[in-house]
Amino acid sequence: MIENQSDNIDIKENDVSNQDNAPEDTSSAEDKTIENDELSSEKKEEINTEELKNTISNNDARLEQLEKEHETLKNQYVRISADFDNFRKRQSRDQDDLKVQLVSKTLTAILPIVDNFERARQQLKPESEEAQALHRSYQGLYKQLVEVLKQQGVAPMRVVGQQFDPNLHEAVLKEPSEEFKEDFIVEELQRGYHLEGKVLRHALVKVSMGPGKQNSQEEVEKDTVEGSIDSEENTSEDV
């Protein structure tokens, strides 16, 4: 009986000890679960952070690529715009040059008619009333022609007394002159014209060679002859 009671007491003590140990095992399992959850969450956070870093890095690389493409396209646009602007200016300049060439060609063909009007005006000396009326009509036509030329930008050159310039004048004759210095224009043989500041037709001119020896010798001889004649006249008067 005593042994049985002792056995029962041991069994009870074991049950009590088991009951005491049971909560400890449960709490440790829960702690492990919490630790595992924390580790998994940390790993998830690390993974998310790494993915975010990769995404940012990829976005930065893509942004850099887009910026380079934008800069390339911008440079192409600027170059094309400049080329188009140069093309437009060149086209406008070519059109202006072509227009000037056409106008110059037309006006150059008209200038001989103007020359004939001027020659006729210098030669005509109307005396009768009918001739004067005809001359006035002729002068009216000439003024109309000159006015049309002015409207087209044509202006005559004034060359007499000016220094010879091969860009403006064409020397046809040269002669000694006491009035003008060397290389100055003595006479206008054919009038020259400007068109919008450019030479439409060169002026045909006669250029001075300066005081000539021949003229000076002739004058000396003339003075000598006149002096001898005067002396002879004075001698005859004395007689």
The structure tokens 């400049």 sit at 82
For residue 203, the model assigns a pLDDT of 93
pLDDT category of residue 168 using cuts at 50, 70 and 90: very high
Query: 183 CB contacts (<8 Å, ≥6 apart)?
Result: 163, 164, 207, 208
Integer CA distances (angstroms), 203 to 100, 143, 179, 198, 200, in order: 20, 21, 21, 13, 10
> What confidence tier does 29 reach under pLDDT thresholds 50, 70, 90?
low
Write down the pLDDT at residue 211.
84
pTM listed for this prediction: 0.53
pLDDT computed for residue 27 by the predictor: 55
User: Across the strands, what pairs with 170?
Assistant: 204
Which phi and psi angles does 157 have, rounded to 5°? -85, 145
Average pLDDT rounded to a whole number, residues 170-195:
91
- pLDDT of the residue at 134: 78
Mean pLDDT rounded to a whole number for the chain: 76
φ and ψ of 128, to 5 deg:
-80, 165
Taking the C-alpha atoms of residue 126 and residue 132, their distance in angstroms, rounded to an integer, is: 5
pLDDT score recorded for residue 135? 78
Over 80: is that where the pLDDT of 4 sits? no
